[in-house]
Amino acid sequence: MNLINVKPFIKKAFSLCVCFSLFSFCLNNAMLAQTLSLPPSYMESIHNWDDGELSWADFQGKNEDTSAICDMKIRLIHSDEHVTKWPIRYTYRKVSPWLYKLDSWVCDSLKTDLNLKYHQTVFDFSELICRKITLEGNSAKGGYDEINQIYRFYINRYVKEVDDFKKCSNNGTISDSVEIYYNNVRNALATFSVSDSIKNIPYNPYSSLGILEIVIGYNRQAPVSNNYVISSTDGFSVGISLFAKRNVFGLQAKLKTGTCKATMTTSMDSTLNINDTINSNYVAFQYERKIIDNKYVSAGPFVSLGSDFKRKISHSNTQEDTGNVSFFAVQLGFSTDFHFFSLVDLNSAAGFNSLRFSPYLQYQQNKKYGNMMSLGLEVAYVFGFSHF
C-alpha cells in the first residue's frame, strides 16, 4: 500500500502552532540475541506489534530535549520464525518493529485519543514495511548486497511516507487525515500476511541448483530368462547421488549387497547346485532424469551400468568354494519418490525426506554363465540436501 495515494482525500488544511519533533527511527541490524543482551528493564518494556494497540503507558521515557514534545523509538529486530505447510516446514528471517518504552515519551498536553491513533498509524506502517522487507529479503538470492538494497529501499520509503503523513495530518491534528491513513494501513496489514505468502512459495527438491542424496534401501530381484543362474536376490542398497544441474538429471554411485540362491546346475558349472548361497555385490553408476517434479512426488527413469560381483560363501553338498563370478549388469527402471517431509531455510539450503520405489529390469552377462534377465524392486529411504 502506498500512503501517498490517499493525499487527494486529505487536502483539508489548517495550521496549529504546535512544535512537534517527529519520530526517531533506529535501524538495528543486529540479531535478536544481541538485542536480548540489553538490560532486563529494556526487555520488559518492549512493545511488539503483536502485543496490540499502543497506549500512553507505552511512553515511559523522560523528555531530555526541551525543544521537543515527543519521541517514539522504534527498532527493527530480526528473529527466526517457522511456518509449516505439509510436507514443507519453512524457516525464515522475520523483521519486526519493536517500540522501546523507556526511550519513548510524550508531553502530557498531547495525550489525546487522536494523537495516540496518529502514533499507532506510524507504528502500524512500520509493521507493514517490516513485512515487505521480510518477504523480499527471504526471497533474495543475490547475497547481502541485494538484501541491503531491499532494506535501503523500504527504509527510505518509510521515512518519506511518514513525513508525508506528518504534513498531511498537520502533525496528527487533522482527524480526517489520521483516520484515512489509519484505516488504509490497517487494511493493508489485513490483506498481507508473511506466513501465508511464504506458504505459497513453490518448492520441490529437484528445482534447486544442486542436490546431494543419500539413499538407503532394500532390494529384491528374480530372474525371468530361461538360462538363469540365480533365482532371486535379497539385500540392501546404499547410494549417493549428485544432481549437478537444475531439475533434470543426476549421477549416482550405487552399492548393493545381499545374498542370493542358486536354483539349478548348469552345463558350464556342475558345482552350482540348489540351495547354494552366494554373496552378491552390485556396484554401478546410475543416471537419472526427473520428468515429474513437485513438492509431493518426483518420478523419472534411470539407467544403471555396473558390475554384479558374486562370491560363493557356502555349499550344502561339497562345501567347496566355486570362486568369484562377475557379471556385467545393466539396469533400466523408473523411480518414484514420495516426499513426506522437507525442511527449507529460505536463506540457505533445504533438506528433504522421501520414500522411493524403483522397479527395474536388469540384464546380466558373464562369459562362463551366459546371460540373465531379472526383474527387481528397490524400496529406499532418501535423505537429500538441496540449494534452494
| Same domain (yes/no): 126, 227 | no
**Which CATH number fits the domain that encloses residue 329?**
2.40.160.20
**Which H, E and C letters describe 250-300, residue by residue?**
EEEEEEEEEEEEECCCCCCCCCCCCCEEEEEEEEEEEEEECCEECCCEEEE
Q: What cell numbers appear for 126 in the block?
A: 512500520
Q: What is the DSSP string of 65-130?
A: -TT-SEE-EEEEEEEEEEEEETTEEEEEEEEEEEEEGGG-EE-GGG--HHHHHHHHHHHHHHHHHH
pLDDT confidence of residue 40: 64
pLDDT of residue 22: 31
- Collapsing DSSP states into helix, strand and coil, what is residue 58? helix
pLDDT tens over the chain, length 388 residues: 333 333 332 222 222 222 222 333 333 333 333 444 556 666 678 999 999 999 999 998 887 666 667 888 898 888 999 999 999 999 999 999 999 998 899 888 889 999 999 999 999 999 999 999 999 998 887 677 888 899 999 999 999 999 999 999 998 899 999 999 999 999 999 999 999 999 988 888 887 777 888 899 998 888 887 655 566 778 888 888 877 654 445 667 777 877 776 554 444 555 555 456 677 888 888 888 888 888 899 999 999 998 888 776 554 554 445 567 788 999 999 999 999 999 999 877 899 999 999 999 999 888 877 788 889 999 999 999 887 5
Residues 291 and 220 reside in one and the same domain? yes
Choose one of 171, 199, 227: the last residue of a domain. Answer: 199
Q: Mapping DSSP to helix (H, G, I), strand (E, B) and coil, where does residue 146 land?
A: helix
pLDDT at 183: 96
Distance between CA 120 and CA 51 in Å, rounded? 12
Query: Residues with Cβ < 8 Å from 131, sequence gap 6 or more?
Result: 189, 192, 193, 194
Do 186 and 217 lie in a common domain?
Answer: no
Same domain, 113 and 169: yes
Bond into 40 cis (ω within 30): no
Does residue 101 sit in the same domain as residue 189? Answer: yes
Q: Are residues 288 and 332 in the same domain?
A: yes
Q: Read out DSSP for 11-41?
A: -------------EEE---S-HHHHTTS-HH
Closest CA to 212 of 256, 178, 177, 244: 244
User: What is the span of the domain harbouring residue 302?
Assistant: 205-387
Tell me, yes or no, whether 214 and 191 share the same domain. Answer: no
Q: Both 43 and 135 in a single domain? A: yes
CA 271 – CA 248 distance, rounded (Å)? 47
pTM (predicted TM-score): 0.75
Considering 199, 223, 251, which residue would you say is the last residue of a domain?
199
Q: Report d(CA 218, CA 377) in Å as an integer.
A: 8
* Domain shared by 367 and 264, yes or no: yes
pLDDT for position 165:
94
Per-residue pLDDT, 284: 87
What residues pair up with 43 in beta bridges, in sequence order? none
Return the number of other C-beta atoms located less than 10 Å from residue 107's C-beta.
Answer: 12
Residues 325 and 186 in one domain: no
* φ, ψ for residue 125, nearest 5 deg: -65, -35
Among 177, 199, 221, give the residue marking a domain's end. Answer: 199
Q: Cα(70)–Cα(105) distance, rounded to whole angstroms?
A: 5
* Domain match, 267 and 361 both: yes
When divided into structural domains, the chain yields a total of 2
Pick the closest to residue 232 from 280, 170, 267 (CA basis).
280
pLDDT at site 230: 61
Give the model's pLDDT for residue 127.
96
Look up cell 503523513; give the residue.
Answer: 165
Rounded to whole angstroms, the Cα distance separating 224 from 234 reads: 16
**pLDDT for the residue numbered 68:** 65
Per-residue buried b or exposed e for 322-342, using 16+ beta carbons within 10 Å of the residue's own CB = beebebebebebebebebeeb
Residues 34 and 180 in one domain: yes
